A and B are shown apart, each in its own frame.
Chain A
């Protein structure tokens, strides 16, 4: 018993130790890159709650991510930092609220309609921020000072320091993994997966499908808002393009690479895709062409993500962890 629990905790703890040690051994540029990658990984994990566990292909999570960032931009004064204590909950609540409204409308539909409706509403938010001056219009908005973590006037952490920022992001990431793992194992998570595998059956058992999915959608949108808040803080800038559906689709690619049936898989997918982009950008001018072809190849030849590639390469048997929701049904067939 203890043997098993040690083994289960061994790998995550080792990875966490590596993540903590990382900023002390790599150059500053890579610390910033790591923060960016972890934030996109957080976004991908949030999206996977809806896509992998809920069976709903959403194309508007870029918009929730962007709203988190815009919320920070709008409440940050020009010359002073804003307090994290209230701007953070505000940003998360705003992203969650947007997810509530869009989810309530989009979840009236199924399958391919859901994809089109989420995509359209995501674009609506893009236009809302792009065409109106209240948030900088098409030029985007600047955040001149990173939010401040202070108690009674004393600054606890200076987010301007890449190291401090990295650890705050890492803490949020660990919290996200814990939250999502709990959700997936809870009665709620099992009901969500049941609705994905057989909606009609889940309904006739008495599960309130609409409410179930809406809750998942809002939680997912709120976590996307968390990632967006810190992402905007990191770059000191947020552009309307962040809300656009190309971001959403790119994050979906991360989800597919990492695998749909695991909480941390999409994080791995984010790291893989961003690493790949770095390599491609460094080696060819036409890196988008290469990336497009790679995406197509992944869809055609690796439908179950890189985990399969690893298991195939290592010749290991697929080890299904017991806490994984077991159903492996395909996401909403045509």
Chain B
């Protein structure tokens, strides 16, 4: 919304590291993600995937390395400024506002990216642009019929959909998804997978996910992390057969499709 939309969105991380006391949660990770592409990051628990997303979204400060958004260094930007540059993210643990309706949740997200997000005059319900963006996000995520439901009345799957609707309502160009399928049944997961697939067009999507079926269905490119480091990256077929990955990841963590936590 802030940048000319003709630029093809891309995000690049160079040598990203994050140190927690003695623990190096993310160590020298470089990767990139481009518009019209889904780049999945997988790895066993504790590999540093969520930390990586937190570094990219600005929720955490990097210890070393840089993050570039369309040739612009955003490493020093805080989370709110990165969000306004077009980076949207979802959380592994659902972070919707439980006491508000579905519509109010999405509207809040749309409001954050409107022309005057902190407008003091005028009722919150009356901004037509914000309302349009809200309707659009609910439509795309299939939540229109649930608009007036309180968020805490939604099923787990619907809450995850709302989580993504809020990301969409901010009109992002880069979308970071942190385990969007976590704790979901197959029926519900199906919907979300289709939703994520539909995001590919027009967005650059970075997906962290445990569900291997979904990952191999969705990913255009795949990066495997272990102990904070990247051990393989490339096309899904290449990575699947990579001996290092088989040994280090698929061997220890039962890699059989469909065993997501």
Contact = CB atoms under 8 A, between A and B. Distances in A.
A adjacent to B, CB under 8 Å: yes
B80 A190 contact: no
Interface in B83-118: 83-84, 88-89, 91, 95-101, 104, 108-109, 111-114, 116-118
A205 B119 CA distance: 16
Interface string A214-238: 0100000000000000000000000
B118 A212 contact: yes
Given A191-B111, A328-B99, A329-B99, A203 B122 contact: no
A204 B123 contact: no
Interface in A170-227: 182-183, 185-191, 194, 197-198, 200-209, 211-212, 215
Contacts of B73: none
A78 interface: no
Given A191-B108, A194-B97, A204-B59, A186 B121 contact: yes
Contacts of A189: 124
A190 B80 CA distance: 16
A206 B80 contact: yes
Nearest to B119: A187
Most buried by A among B59, B79, B96, B119: B79
A204 B58 CA distance: 8
B253 to A, nearest CB: 28
B170 interface: yes
B79 A203 contact: yes
Most buried by A among B78, B111, B113, B166: B111
B217 interface: no
Contact of A198 (B95, B112, B120): B95
B67 to A, nearest CB: 15
Interface of B: 57-59, 78-80, 83-84, 88-89, 91, 95-101, 104, 108-109, 111-114, 116-124, 127, 130, 166, 170
A190 B96 CA distance: 14
B108 A190 contact: yes
14 contacts: A182-B121, A183-B120, A186-B122, A187-B114, A187-B116, A187-B117, A191-B108, A191-B117, A194-B97, A197-B97, A200-B59, A201-B91, A205-B112, A209-B80
A187 B124 contact: yes
Mostly, the A contact residues are: helix
A328 B97 CA distance: 10
B111 A182 contact: no
A206 B99 contact: no
Contact of B118 (A188, A200, A328): A188
Contacts of B116: 187
A17 to B, nearest CB: 26
B123 A206 contact: no
A191 B112 contact: yes
Mostly, the B contact residues are: loop
Contacts of A215: 118
A182 B89 CA distance: 31
Nearest to A328: B99
Nearest to A207: B112
A206 B83 contact: yes
A190 B120 contact: no
A193 to B, nearest CB: 9
Contacts of B100: 326-327
Contacts of A198: 95, 97
A209 B117 CA distance: 11
B97 A205 contact: no
A65 B98 CA distance: 36
Contact of B84 (A183, A185, A206, A327): A206
B89 A204 contact: yes
B119 A186 contact: yes
B167 to A, nearest CB: 9
B124 A207 contact: no
B111 A190 contact: yes
Most buried by B among A191, A206, A208: A206
Contacts of B111: 187, 190-191
Given A187-B127, A190-B111, A205 B170 contact: yes
A204 B57 contact: yes
B74 to A, nearest CB: 13
A200 B166 CA distance: 14
A41 to B, nearest CB: 22
Given A186-B123, A204-B57, 18 more contacts: A185-B123, A185-B124, A187-B114, A187-B130, A188-B120, A190-B111, A190-B124, A191-B112, A191-B118, A200-B59, A201-B97, A203-B83, A204-B80, A206-B84, A206-B117, A206-B170, A327-B100, A329-B99
A206 B112 contact: yes
